[in-house]
Each structure stands twice: as C-alpha cells, then as structure tokens.
Amino acid sequence: MIKDEILKSFQGKGVLVTGGTGLIGRQAVDILLAAGAHVTVVSLDKLNPNPGAEYVYGDLTDFSFCKDIVKGRDFVFHMAGIKGSIEVTRTKPSSHFVPALMFNTNTLEACRINKVKKVVYTSSIGAYANAEIFHEDENKDGAPMDFYSGWAKRMAEMQIETYKIQYGLENYSIVRPCNVYGPGDNFDPENAMVIPTLMWRIYNKENPVTVWGDGSAVRDFAYSRDVAEGVILALHYGTKSSFVNLGSGKGYTVKELVEALHTFLDFNYIFDKSKPSGFPKRVMDITSQKTYTLQPHNDAY
C-alpha cells in the first residue's frame, strides 16, 4: 500500500483522470478518492464506477474541451487509451492511431497551457522496440512492437520531452505498464487481451476453450490495482520527463496461465497452433521500479 504521508498530499486537491473508467483508471480513482482528493473523470464510457467522483462524458480529441476540463486542476492523470488485440490493431490501425495522437496531444498541451502542477502519462510496453527484456535505458531505437499504437504512445512521450527541452518543464512523468489485468477490463473476445479473453470463454462455457497459438508466448502480467499505485507514485515523485517500467518483472507462458486457471476452474481447453502466438517474449526489467521509489524497500509505500 502507498504510505499515508503520500496519500495525504492528495487531500483536497483537484484531480482529473482521463480514462478513469478503464482498467487502471478506475483503480486510481478509488485510491485518490479514499485519499480525500476531488476527482473528476472524463471518458467516452457512460459508466460511473465510483459515486464519489464527478464523471464527465467528453471527447478529448476536441482541444477546446480539453482546455476547459483541465482548467484549475492540480494534478492530471492521463490514462485514456484504446485497447485491442493484435488482430484488431493490425486490421484497423487508423481507429487506434489517429484518435490516440489527437487526445494525447490535446490533453498534454492543455495541461501545459493551464500550468497543471503535476501530470502523469500512461504509455505502454508496446512503445518498446521488439526485445525479450525491456530496459528503460536501452532499446530506444527501432519501430515499436505495437506498430501504430506504439508510435502514438511514443509521440506523446516525445511531446513531453519537448516541453522539458523548450520550457524546462519536469513536472510531467511517464510510465510504461506491462500486460495489465483486473476489474473493468475489456472482455470482448473479438478484441480483448489474453486474460480477459480466456475468462470470457470460460464464463460462457466454451467447450473446449480455444487458445490461440501453442501457449509458448511469455508475458509479464500485473494486477490493475498494483499498476495504479505505481502510476500515483510516479506522479508524486516525478520521473523528470522520462519513463519508468511498471510490471512484475517475471515472465509466464500462456500455457502456464491456462493451466493455473484450470487448477480452480472447470473447463477443457485446446491450443490452436494454426493461429499466431504473438511475440515470443515480453518481460519488463523493473530495476528502476525498485530503485526509483516505487518499491517498499525505498520507503515509497
């Protein structure tokens, strides 16, 4: 858990959370409300997961709207994003790339214009170039793994870098989370990630549950509440316009994931080797997470 003195720093503060109805966002909203912050959520989802927050239905691709909604905020958590499976991002890249460019640019610029005290931007592991282990100080060249959405994420990171170079601003922080799961995830099997897709198929009693690929792909999974705490700590301590990985630092195969679910849920499954398995391995190096005041031994909690 986050230390009380850190949570108290949010008491009475005006906080905006974009994408606050999403996987990580709703967890951050719960934590911030419990800390006594005045939280406004802006989203295109017509959901109100926590009655303590103000929910605003709004489109962040509208710059005028962004400037208005950001005005007067102490802190902004920019968590809005567009999630989708490998297949969806491959076949419908414009639906991910264009709006992401627009709402990232608008939100970050609105924060600069309105002189928001602290801003944190949630990027993605997909912004990295292909590798098995992802280090923040390496692998900065080459195309992103998640090509279109990864470039959109990198453009936002670069925008923050330009603010530091031109204006000397270091109040913007960046995190790159791994594969996140938890309440509020997208469970549509047509475009969801591996864990929610499996859960949907099991819940709907698909027999057998069909798992794409041979199960050998290795992924770094993290629970949404843990990632939300990491995002809050990143804003509190600052990353000086650079980014910090948020993950478990451990890799598990999809086969291990399926077998773990099978130990306490009753379902049959098969691996469809005619389907793609995805990238062979994606695991976060979390050395910075441990040493950059994001772990208990550094008194971050």
Q: Is the pLDDT of residue 277 over 90?
A: no
Q: State mean pLDDT over 236-258.
A: 94
Q: State mean pLDDT over 217-238.
A: 96
Q: State mean pLDDT over 34-62.
A: 96
CB-CB contact of 270 with 210 (8 Å): yes
Domain of residue 51, residue span: 4-181+222-249+282-298
Confidence bin at 291 (pLDDT 50/70/90) = low
Give the model confidence (pLDDT) of 121-154 as tens digits.
999 999 999 999 999 886 567 899 888 889 999 9
Task: Answer whether residue 212 is part of any domain.
Answer: no
Give the three-class secondary structure for 43: strand
Phi, psi of 256 (to 5 degrees): -60, -40
Task: Answer whether residue 268 is part of any domain.
Answer: no
Q: Is the pLDDT of residue 77 over 80?
A: yes
Q: Is the pLDDT of residue 299 over 50?
A: no
Amino acid making up residue 273: K
Task: Answer whether residue 13 is part of any domain.
Answer: yes
> 0.85 cut: is pTM over it?
yes
Please tell me the total count of domains within the chain.
Answer: 1
Give the model confidence (pLDDT) of 214-225 as tens digits.
999 999 999 999
d(CA 211, CA 209): 6
CATH number at residue 232: 3.40.50.720
Q: State mean pLDDT over 190-207.
A: 92
Task: Answer whether residue 74 is part of any domain.
Answer: yes
Q: Which of 56-65, 85-94, 113-122 has the lowest mean pLDDT?
A: 85-94
Task: Answer whether residue 199 is part of any domain.
Answer: no
Amino acid making up residue 72: G
d(CA 199, CA 195): 6
Task: Answer whether residue 274 is part of any domain.
Answer: no
Task: Answer whether residue 165 is part of any domain.
Answer: yes
The pLDDT of residue 190 is 79
Bridge partner residues of 76 (DSSP)? 16, 119
